[in-house]
Amino acid sequence: MAFNGSEGKFITLSEGADLTGEFRSSNPTQPLAYFFGRDKLEELLAQDNCMGIRIYFGEKNNSLQLVLVSADDNQDDLLDKILDKGSTCPPYSSTSNDLNS
């Protein structure tokens, strides 16, 4: 099955809060979130044949890392640009809300 660019589903705040709350409970020493700037995300999305972004889970020094790559309609990773080193929450946190508290 090929990617068409509309994969994923929007969820409610309540569903998101349940997911992030369970993660925080199970992983109290891990970052709550990562922030990646719009410019970097747009660079990934602007690659030829890009249908979206795949996010891999990684680990460095016992800390969760996110590795982002573009993927084409054949579900293959586009490996010319690989994004990592997002800003972690904390310390770069949103004000308190249902997703992070």
CA diameter of the chain: 40
Distances (CA, A) of 78 to 1, 24, 66, 69: 17, 31, 16, 6
Residue 82 has pLDDT above 80, yes or no: yes
**Mean pLDDT across the chain:** 95
Residue 1 has pLDDT above 80, yes or no: no
Q: Where are the alpha helices (DSSP H) in the chain?
A: 13-26, 38-45
Q: What angle do CA 52, 81, 38 make, to 5 degrees?
A: 60
CB 54 within 8 A of CB 42: no
Mean pLDDT of the 33-56 span: 97
